[in-house]
Amino acid sequence: MTILDKILFAQDFASSSENLESVAISLAKTFNSTVVPIHVLPDDIVNPKVKDLLDDTAHSRLESVSKSIKAKGVEVESPIIKYGVAHDAIVMAASQVNANMILVGSGENRAKELFKLGTTTERIIQSSEKPVLVIKEGDPFDVNTILCPVDFSDPSKRALNNAIIIARRLSARLIILSVSEVPSSSWFASKADLGKENSERFEKHKTDFEQFLSQFNLNDLNWSKEERSGNAAEEILDTISSKNVDLLIMGTAGRTGLNRLVVGSVTEKVIREVPCSFLTLKSQDVITLHLETDIKDFETLFEAGAQLEKDGLYEEAIEQFKASLNINPMHVPAYSAIAKLLDKIGEPEKAALYRKSANEIKERIWYAKIEEEVRKLRGS
């Protein structure tokens, strides 16, 4: 079972990407993922000797990276060498290998430079339909707090669905932020009118926020909500600083302030100025569940169900527990696990039936043990 099957690890061998390898290993171990290293060489080198030297060096270094990752117990696919413009080649390779996510560094940044995001990384974010995880230079990716801004759109719903599972796997606290944007004062005759409008707008926004959150399984998750009023980009950045956020997860095509995260001023304020690592999602999920269909071992199926329960994927967990019962219909823990999950998803009557089955099996096992003891006593 995997939920993040493949990570395309973009390696440029620069100092800013030195810790990317350890991040790739950590993620792969957490999500049982395969890592695919990639490096892009320029395609405009005229001198054949120089080209051959670059080719040999790139292949050697990428092979070394692959061996290092394998040595940590992580599955690695054959490294990829591409030629051309880096962001185009990386985005194309992500589609070709069907990666769940592109892992990149934030790029080189001079100390006095206003914007902290490298050009290649920014263009990957702009052009990729695949999720992109950007690791800030020097960030060890020790994630304790995750922030997910939402504006109630489908892209932000996708981002939150993924953020919830990632938070569960990383045992991190999840903050869900929603910002009620303040309209221009030019619409109103007075500050009093503007203040009244903002207050009413904020109250409606809080109601909409509650309705939005009701769609998600937040059971057994360490989470909190943050409701703010103001400019979306500024409030996102302020929340990151004030709440010591380690990872920002956001959809990049929503309404209000978030719909400009791919281009424009909000891009500069958020993905260029954000002090932490961040994950952007457009039309595809990072988390995609892949279940093996030919498993014949009930314990493996039961363990898969237990992990899915931890991930908050209750209905999928129930199916795995049921599959384990098809192999071993006397497995009481599976009945109990299904009953507990049915209670959580609001089906108490079905839960009662599974508990009844569990109790009946316990009784049968108990009586069988008694009969066995009686036979032993008679035989003696």
Maximum distance among all Cα pairs of the chain, rounded to whole angstroms: 100
Structure tokens at 184: 């221009």
What digits encode the pLDDT tens for the residues 70-111?
Answer: 999 999 999 999 999 999 999 999 999 999 999 999 876 555
142-290 CATH: 3.40.50.620
On the question of pLDDT at 342 being above 70, the answer is: yes
Least trusted range by pLDDT, from 43-47, 140-144, 233-237, 329-333: 43-47
197 or 24, which is more confident?
Answer: 24
End-to-end CA distance of the chain: 50
On the question of pLDDT at 281 being above 60, the answer is: yes
By C-alpha distance, which of 344, 296, 297, 294 is closest to 317? 344
CATH architecture for residues 298-379 = Alpha Horseshoe (1.25)
Helix (H, G, I), strand (E, B) or coil at 352: helix
Same fold, 1-139 and 142-290: yes
Residue 110 confidence (pLDDT)? 52
Mean pLDDT, range 114-127, rounded to an integer: 80
What digits encode the pLDDT tens for the residues 284-340?
Answer: 999 998 887 777 788 999 999 999 999 999 999 999 999 999 999 999 999 999 999
Do the strands 173-181 and 223-230 form a parallel or antiparallel pair, or are they unpaired? parallel
Domain ranges of the chain: 1-139, 142-290, 298-379
1-139: what fold?
Rossmann fold (3.40.50)
Q: What backbone phi and psi angles, to 5 degrees, belong to 274?
A: -60, 130
- The answer to whether 102 and 124 are in contact (CB under 8 A) is yes
Three-state SS annotation for 11-73: CCCCHHHCCHHHHHHHHHHHHCCEEEEEEEECCCCCCHHHHHHHHHHHHHHHHHHHHHHHCCC
Per DSSP, 290 falls in state: B
By C-alpha distance, which of 315, 310, 362, 355 is closest to 335? 355
What digits encode the pLDDT tens for the residues 123-152?
Answer: 999 899 999 999 988 888 999 999 999 989
Q: How many residues does the chain have?
A: 380
Structure tokens at 63: 């092979």
